[in-house]
Amino acid sequence: MKRPSTLVIILGIAVLLVVGLIVTESFSEQGIAAYQDQFEEVGYYRNENNTGPVLRIYAYQTQVEDPEVLKSFADLLPHTKYGRTLVFFVNEPVKAPVVLSPESPYFPASLSPSIFAKYEKTPMGEQQLELVKP
């Protein structure tokens, strides 16, 4: 029986290393659980449209005001290709769940003064975080 050449052994080791790195990186991501203590969902809306654009609207209560943290958190939320995702960040305590609607302004007028940031992911995947000044 013929022994494998050194080149085949080196290529095999390289492939195993790359696969190992991919698996390690895939399972080491913290995901949305890393933000569990900083953000509390107070409202959610999703339209029933499964064949066309899906609209997801979230309202989160948080004391975090760092735009980078807000954007990285919102980037982890579900998004559908050709759909639209909106996230509103509220900095005051909300006692009851917020009822969101598919029509602008998406949330009750009583919540408007508490909203300090809005995140949007468009149907083409463009992401934008806007700090709202009440």
pLDDT, tens digit, 9 for 90 and up, residues 105-119? 888 888 888 888 999
Q: What's the pLDDT band for 15 if we cut at 50, 70, 90?
A: very high
Answer yes or no: is 87 within a domain. Answer: yes
The fraction of the chain above a pLDDT of 90, given in percent, is 22
Measured distance CA(21)–CA(78) in Å, rounded: 25
Answer yes or no: is 4 within a domain. Answer: no
Measured distance CA(50)–CA(38) in Å, rounded: 31
Domain region containing 73: 33-131
Closest CA to 124 of 76, 79, 86: 79
pTM of the model: 0.76
Answer yes or no: is 23 within a domain. Answer: no
Answer yes or no: is 79 within a domain. Answer: yes
Q: What's the total number of domains in the chain?
A: 1
